[in-house]
Structure 1
Amino acid sequence: MSDDLDTGLRELARSAERLPPVPGAGIRHLAERRRRRRRRGAIAALGGTAAVAAVALALVLSPGGAGPERQQEAPAARPTSARSAQPAPDVRVDLSTRELVVVADGRGMPVSSGGANTPTPTGRLTVVSRTPAALVSGAEVGRPRDHRYKVLWVIRLRAGDGRTTALFGMTTDETAPGAFDVTSGWIGLRTADAKWLYDRLRTGSVITVQGHAPAAAVGGGPFA
């Protein structure tokens, strides 16, 4: 390398090491500008963070949002129909088969009901009163209507529309239950069955009655 070139490079290096002179006021001005830029950057960053937090809070509190409160909201309860709210019956009576069944233990009993001209009320009935014995017209039990007869273990029933009937022990004819229908609409039982049922049912007990008496009497009755 020539001496001239070497000398030139050293001069160039020394000149690059010397900083251009800057007055003190200029240095302060530059420092102030840097501080303002840093302050604006910090404020902008803070504003962005606050905006994100506000959006997240709005999503949580919004009725249509997907926040935890919304996700854990219990489903609306389904309305309960009046039918499903009714208690199960204590006794079921099927006039077509002439059978009464006690729901709790499945015990069945033969019955006699009203015929075609004096049908027994059907539907859901409630026990309204109980009496150990009662005098009834003969028409109630398939006997001459101008006579009165003593029946036992009478359980009176009423439907929601006001119709009435009764369960009772047919002291006038123990063979009628399960065989023929001769009452004026009451439901006759054998005396022992009527007593057993009387001891278990209370006011407010529910009996459902369905079907209808067979068109032709089975076995016939004394006044069928």
Structure 2
Amino acid sequence: MSEHEPDELGSALRVLAADASVPPTLSGGQIRRRGEARGRRRRALVATAAVVVLGTGAAVGVPWVMDGSKEDRRPVAIDPSIPSSAPVFVYAPPRIDIRTKVLTLRPAGEKARSFRLTMSDDVTAGKAKVAFKNPKMKLPALLSTPPETAYEVEVSWAVNLSLPNGEALYLVADHVSGIRMHPSVLRMPAADAKWVYDRLKVGDTVTLQ
């Protein structure tokens, strides 16, 4: 508030008090004019008081409003007890459909994916364990012309699936063209094989059905 505003208010109040104390010794017209003058001063007093009140309110209220606007701009805290609307993908055991020759895998937190396999019709149903993984290894292949002599071919992203009867299957990247792999080798495109290799863990159970 300005230092002159209290003086103006006090002066107006003193003028009104002085007017009230003067005895009515004037004529009727003079009294009427005096009353009109008092009315104008009274209105000026009210206006002055309003200015003082508004000035005081602005000095106090505006920072409060500004602080309130700052408060509204603060980031809203995330309540961990409120569930997210995003879907949650729960882990599902991998399985191989030996009839359609499709591997399906759904890791925790990811969507399920299915991969077409190049595999022998002689693979039987059962449950296999992931025994080990190797980014590079040699596996048996067969010559396409008799006699079917076995030899080894280097493959990538190999996942060993151990069967209860002691036999093993291998999930590998199919990047060798024109070669007949051993029936124990299940092949898929290299990008798919890498994805499966990264997500299958030693000890996982893969169901063949």
Q: Which has the higher contact order (CA 8 A, sep 6+)?
A: 1
Larger Rg: 1
Q: TM-score range by the shorter chain?
A: 0.3 to 0.5
**TM-score, with structure 1 as normaliser:** 0.45
**TM-score, with structure 2 as normaliser:** 0.48
